[in-house]
Amino acid sequence: MIEKRDAQSDSSDDEFQLSQHDLDAVNRAIDEGDGNALDAVLEPVHAADIADMIEQLTPPRRRQFLDLYSGEIDGDILSEIDESVRDEVIEQLPREVLAEAVREMDSDDVVDLIEDMEAPEQQAILAALDESDRVAVEQSLTYPEYSAGRLMQSEVVTAPEHWTVGETIDFLRQEDWLPDQFYHVILVDPRRHPVGYVTLGKLLSSRRHIALRDITEDSFRTISARQDEGDVAYAFNKYHLISAPVVDDHDRLVGVITIDDAMAVLDEEHEEDFLRMARVSDESHVSDGPLETARQRLPWLVVNLFTASLSALVISRFEATLAQLVILAALMPIVASTGGIAGTQSLAVAVRALATRELTGANAKRVVLRELLAGLLNGVGLAVILTLAGGLILGDFRIGMVLGMAMIANQVVAAMGGVLVPLTLNKLGLDPALSSGTFVTTMTDMMGFFAFLGLASWVLI
């Protein structure tokens, strides 16, 4: 077993969340209904940590907490609260607190907050915004879900392409609406097409008379507002982007995406793939109750009842063989389960490689061939072990050989299935992480039982 890559796990874990001491103080304040004490404890705490704490409270406790603290919930905290409990929190917030919080938020955070709301609630929040912010949010909402247009913020710092460093700095000093965080000044032509960008570092280190167009970055890349957010995150990671201009269908600048949002998307996409591979809804949260949890997991369990029944059907064809040699019943899961592991291994590598674009049309043939050979090699290796074990433990080399030969067949099927199933799903535009596992283990189970019992009927009986 490999040790966790974590020199100081305990201390460092604590560093990024509320200390037990603070938590105790919060709990005391809730018990005593002491709002002032609560404010005092949470005053120096980062919004992200307050949001985490709110998520971890039990629902009744959360209500008590909000009774005391809801007046202090601002835009920063609200945008950090996970979707799973956000509706609950919003419902309990006084109207004016919610309106104030929303006014503080960047347009992308407002979009994230309201995109899943019903129309009346959406309207109530939009009404609290300034005219220009409302227009920006409404424009974002016209783009598809999970698109760059939903992820972008509309607050963008631009400069005409003919400006100098000095003009730009003077302009920035005059403006008071600048976003909290920005990393580039985007050069636009008179029709608002972005033509390049200048990093703030370059702007600061260049003399006033220098023209902006002489210090733009080489690698300039715009993103279409219709682009899928997963692709956006991929591009940020691949090209080390910090922020990127977003353009509409006419190549006009409509917003900017910053790397912190791209990082959050990357994190979510990974979580989705991870959970989907394990046949768990990506809607599942640690804060869900038992009923909700059971409901999310049941569908795939029922699917498995059906696929397992197919295996049962295969086995039942060999009842006569099993009746003659009952030990076969004990041995048959070995072939099936080892095939299942191999299929999962091959599958995980393929799903991951599809996600990172390392597995493409160009090398698919080579990867399939590689899997075939690797499956064959491991099948033979396992077959040798099984033949020897059969002879030494069961005292019957023939059973060992039958196990081994079935294993070779199943390892090849597993390796092939593990790569061909996700490739096919991907080609069909379906998410390979979602249902590949069921296909592949059904294949390896059925093949495992069939090959072993079939060979056994032929060779041993």
Closer residue to a copy of itself (CB): 63 or 279: 279
Residues 77-96 binding a copy of itself (CB under 8 A) are none
Residues 215-244 binding a copy of itself (CB under 8 A) are 219, 226-231, 234-242
420 binds a copy of itself (CB under 8 A): no
Closer residue to a copy of itself (CB): 311 or 457: 311
Closer residue to a copy of itself (CB): 70 or 435: 435
108 binds a copy of itself (CB under 8 A): no
Q: Which of 119, 120, 118, 122 is nearest to 110 (CA)?
A: 122
Closer residue to a copy of itself (CB): 301 or 461: 301
Q: Which residues share a beta bridge with 199? A: 184
CB of 162 to a copy of itself, least distance (A): 19
Among 8, 21, 209, 395, binds a copy of itself (CB under 8 A): 8
12 binds a copy of itself (CB under 8 A): yes
Distance of CA 409 to the CA centre of its chain: 35
CB of 117 to a copy of itself, least distance (A): 20
For residue 147, what is the DSSP state?
A: B
353 binds a copy of itself (CB under 8 A): yes
Closer residue to a copy of itself (CB): 9 or 123: 9
Among 85, 188, 347, 399, binds a copy of itself (CB under 8 A): 347
107 binds a copy of itself (CB under 8 A): no
397 binds a copy of itself (CB under 8 A): no
Angle between helices 59-69 and 20-32 (to 10 degrees): 80
Q: Who's near 141: CB < 8 A, 6+ residues apart? A: 111, 114, 115, 150
CB of 237 to a copy of itself, least distance (A): 5
Structure tokens given for 108: 């992308």
Structure tokens given for 141: 């909402």
Q: Strand 194-199 and strand 223-224: pairing?
A: unpaired
256 binds a copy of itself (CB under 8 A): no
Among 97, 128, 172, 368, binds a copy of itself (CB under 8 A): 172
CB of 355 to a copy of itself, least distance (A): 9
- Indicate the burial class of 391 (C-beta count within 10 angstroms; 0-12, 13-18, 19 or more): middle
User: Contacts from 82-91 at CB under 8 Å and sequence distance 24+?
Assistant: 82/51, 82/55, 82/285, 82/287, 83/116, 84/55, 84/285, 84/287, 84/288, 85/54, 85/55, 85/287, 86/113, 88/59, 88/62, 89/54, 89/62, 90/121
Buried b (16+ CB within 10 A) or exposed e, 70-109: eeebbbbbbbbbeeebbeebbebbeeebbebbbeebbbbb
331 binds a copy of itself (CB under 8 A): yes
Closer residue to a copy of itself (CB): 127 or 178: 178
CB atoms within 10 A of CB 223: 25
CB of 76 to a copy of itself, least distance (A): 10
Residues 33-52 binding a copy of itself (CB under 8 A) are 46, 48, 52
188 binds a copy of itself (CB under 8 A): no
61 binds a copy of itself (CB under 8 A): no
187 binds a copy of itself (CB under 8 A): no
Residues 291-320 binding a copy of itself (CB under 8 A) are 291, 293-294, 297-298, 300-302, 304-305, 308-309, 311-313, 315-316, 319
Residues 130-169 binding a copy of itself (CB under 8 A) are 144, 146-147, 169
Buried b (16+ CB within 10 A) or exposed e, 292-302: eeeebeeebee
> Could you give the C-alpha distances from 238 to 182, 362, 398, in angstroms and in order?
20, 19, 54
